């Protein structure tokens, strides 16, 4: 995939090491007297190391690179202690990368590691608080047997479902049939659970109101890269702005370099459905 990533000018680099402490992700090391980018997976491309280079040897460019892997970065960071974990979380918060921040927190929670820093965005929501149980991943086992007269069951197979909160490495995506839905679809279509959600893993977002569409594309790229997805059902409203759901999916497939069948479902504002 093509993304932002740092470049080191070896002619300017003196190997002073000033950049190393400002890369808690572990992407930089001093090797043979020069700062080196040791792995694309560890470089988020946000450039925290640039300001501390006295020689101006570091810049950010756009090039083909492996997708940044927040989960793998956290495996490296946690061994370095609370101070480094805090620096990494502050770094993500400063650059408003709450998608990566929430994945880092999810890693800490999954491994029972205290969260040493809480993001302080001006409009902080309870759903993005590091200790919020709403972001903890769950797999839901469904019993298909129901009694006569029982209410229609939920077909939800995992939690969370909002794309910003999802951990792309979650095992629920292995060999999954994926449903990518706009936020309004479940409200408009009465048979959402039975017709669309059953036997599928759900992610949802709003292509019109959500601000970090590029971040959503990268989350889907990671899902498509880390897992075998059998099919993708795209469900959106008939209004023009909602068709952006398919655009996001197609961009992610292109960047991930994979070909997965897409089934498109359009929901009318009156609650109907058409292919």
Per residue in 151-194, pLDDT tens?
678 999 898 999 988 889 888 999 999 999 999 999 999 999 99
The Cα–Cα gap between 135 and 128 comes to: 7
Report the pLDDT averaged over residues 43-71. Answer: 85
User: How many Å from the N-terminal Cα to the C-terminal Cα in the chain?
Assistant: 31
For residue 121, what are its two tokens? 């965005």
Distance, in Å, from the CA atom of 16 to the CA atom of 35, rounded to the nearest integer, reads 8
**CB count, 10 Å around CB of 73?**
24
DSSP state of 38: -
- pLDDT of 231-267, one tens digit each? 999 999 998 888 889 999 999 999 999 999 999 999 9
Per-residue pLDDT at 144: 57
3-state helix, strand, coil in the chain (%, to 5): 35, 20, 45
- Helix axis angle, 98-110 to 213-226, nearest 10°: 40
Tell me the chain's radius of gyration from C-alpha atoms. Answer: 21
Q: What is the DSSP string of 39-100?
A: -GGG--SS-TTGGG-TT--EEEEEEE-PPP-HHHHHHHHGGG-HHHHHHHHHHHHHTT-HHH
Token code pair at residue 240: 């023009």
As a residue count, the chain comes to: 275
Which residues on neighbouring strands pair with residue 178, listed in sequence order?
Answer: 201, 232
* Whether residue 148 has pLDDT greater than 60: no
Which residues 6+ apart lie within 8 Å of 269 measured at CB? 188, 237, 238, 239
In this model, does residue 146 exceed pLDDT 90? no
The long-range contacts involving 152-159, CB below 8 angstroms and separated by at least 24 positions, are 152/193, 152/194, 153/193, 154/193, 155/193, 155/194, 155/197, 155/198, 155/199, 155/200, 156/193, 156/197, 156/202, 157/199, 157/200, 157/201, 157/202, 158/201, 158/202
pLDDT confidence tier of residue 147, bands split at 50, 70 and 90: low
**C-alpha–C-alpha distance, residues 172 and 6, integer Å:** 33
Q: What is the pLDDT of residues 185-225, one digit of tens each?
A: 999 999 999 999 999 999 999 988 887 888 899 999 999 99
pLDDT of residue 121: 46
- Cβ partners under 8 Å of residue 126, min gap 6: 132, 134
The angle formed by the CA atoms of residues 16, 21 and 23, to the nearest 5 degrees, is 110
């Amino acid at each position: 995939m093509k993304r932002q990533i740092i470049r080191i000018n070896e002619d300017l680099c003196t190997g002073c090491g000033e950049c190393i402490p400002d890369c808690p992700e572990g992407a930089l090391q001093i090797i043979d007297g020069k700062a080196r980018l040791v792995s694309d997976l560890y470089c988020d491309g946000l450039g925290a190391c640039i300001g501390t280079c006295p020689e101006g040897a570091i810049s950010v460019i756009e090039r083909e690179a492996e997708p940044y892997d927040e989960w793998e970065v956290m495996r490296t960071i946690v061994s370095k202690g609370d101070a480094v974990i805090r620096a990494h979380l502050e770094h993500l918060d400063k650059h408003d990368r709450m998608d990566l921040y929430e994945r880092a927190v999810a890693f800490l929670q999954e491994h029972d590691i205290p969260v040493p820093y809480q993001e302080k965005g001006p409009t902080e929501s309870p759903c993005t608080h590091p200790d919020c149980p709403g972001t903890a991943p769950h797999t839901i086992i469904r019993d298909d047997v129901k009694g006569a007269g029982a209410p229609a069951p939920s077909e939800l197979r995992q939690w969370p479902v909002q794309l910003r909160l999802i951990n792309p490495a979650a095992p629920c995506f292995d060999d999954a049939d994926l449903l990518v839905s706009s936020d309004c679809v479940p409200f408009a279509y009465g048979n959402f659970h039975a017709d669309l959600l059953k036997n599928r893993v759900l992610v949802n977002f709003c292509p019109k109101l959500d601000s970090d569409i590029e971040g959503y594309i990268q989350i889907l790229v990671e899902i498509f890269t880390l897992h075998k997805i059998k099919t993708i059902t795209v469900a959106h409203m008939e209004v023009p702005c909602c068709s952006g759901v398919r655009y996001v999916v197609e961009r992610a497939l292109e960047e991930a370099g994979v070909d997965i069948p897409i089934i498109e479902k359009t929901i009318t504002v009156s609650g109907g459905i058409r292919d």
